[in-house]
Amino acid sequence: MEEAGEIVHIVDAAALERHLQRWGADDEDSHDAHEPIGYVLSLEGADSIVTLRHLERAYAQGLRAVGPAHYGPGVYAQGTNATGGVGEKGRGLLREMERLNIILDATHLCDESFWECLEVFRGPVWASHNNCRALVPHGRQFSDEQLRALIDRGAVVGVVFDAWMLVPDWVRGSSTPQNRGVTLAQVADNIDHICQVAGNALHAGIGSDLDGAFGTEQGPADVDTIADLQKVPALLAQRGYSAQDIENVCHGNFLRFLRKAWS
């Protein structure tokens, strides 16, 4: 895809600014309608990092963010539906991530591993795709206490569009977005909850998780394609969010985070 000019790997502040300049032309006619998508390479679940030398090798190849766990128990941390801390292997990984300035992605960490990671790791932290436990009581979501801890660290939390994370008591195989009334309104609810906990709109973003693991059967009923993310700004405006707040949520917060992390 890179060779075809469809995507661009963003690895540092200079590459980020070049890409933003390319996309930020005021005159839409001045740039190609098929501009490449910029991406930051992230790893979800660190079990594939065989040794810490492999982490250094991955960094050299452009890896810039790591979530130590995914679902269940892991080598370096415990993930969704698991319990326990990170242990000595996890602490070693976190120290090496900090040395290399790799972003810690707190997404999917179980509660014990979450708190231990924040205790050990002093580098940049975000949560690329996570929602609020106050709205859907499940360990996959963050409690308000966790949200406050992330906010205190300057994190941005990207809100997820997965239906079971938007309404409580979702039953796989029988619940549908239509019979449970799942729409982008619940996405806006999670964005708003993060903003209320923070007291501002500087720590919420769009995480989506619309990466192909599920389709319209498990997403908001009013989302048919990725283009429907463009409906989010209007929903936030209806709730009284300013144009600047909406810009921050849609892209500004993550850009500010990366600029600071890579400065």
Residues 133-175: pLDDT tens digits? 999 999 999 999 999 999 999 999 999 999 999 999 999 999 9
Question: In the chain, which ranges are continuous DSSP H helix?
Answer: 13-23, 52-60, 87-100, 111-120, 144-152, 177-180, 184-198, 232-238, 243-247, 253-261
- Count Cα atoms within 13 angstroms, Cβ side, for 19: 20
Starting from the edge strand earliest in sequence, which strands make up the sheet with 42-44, in order? 42-44, 65-67, 103-105, 125-126
Task: Give yes or no for residue 14 having a pLDDT over 80.
Answer: yes
Give the count of beta carbons closer than 10 Å to the beta carbon of residue 101.
12
Dihedral sign for Cα atoms in the order 23, 29, 35, 37: positive
**What distance in Å separates the CA atoms of residue 181 and residue 202, rounded to the nearest whole number?**
28
Q: Quote the pLDDT of residue 77.
A: 98
Closest by alpha carbon to 132, among 154, 105, 157, 151? 157
pTM, two decimal places: 0.95
**What distance in Å separates the CA atoms of residue 82 and residue 77, rounded to the nearest whole number?**
9
Split at pLDDT 50, 70, 90, the class of 34 is confident
**What distance in Å separates the CA atoms of residue 38 and residue 11, rounded to the nearest whole number?**
10
Q: Quote the pLDDT of residue 28.
A: 56
**What distance in Å separates the CA atoms of residue 45 and residue 202, rounded to the nearest whole number?**
27
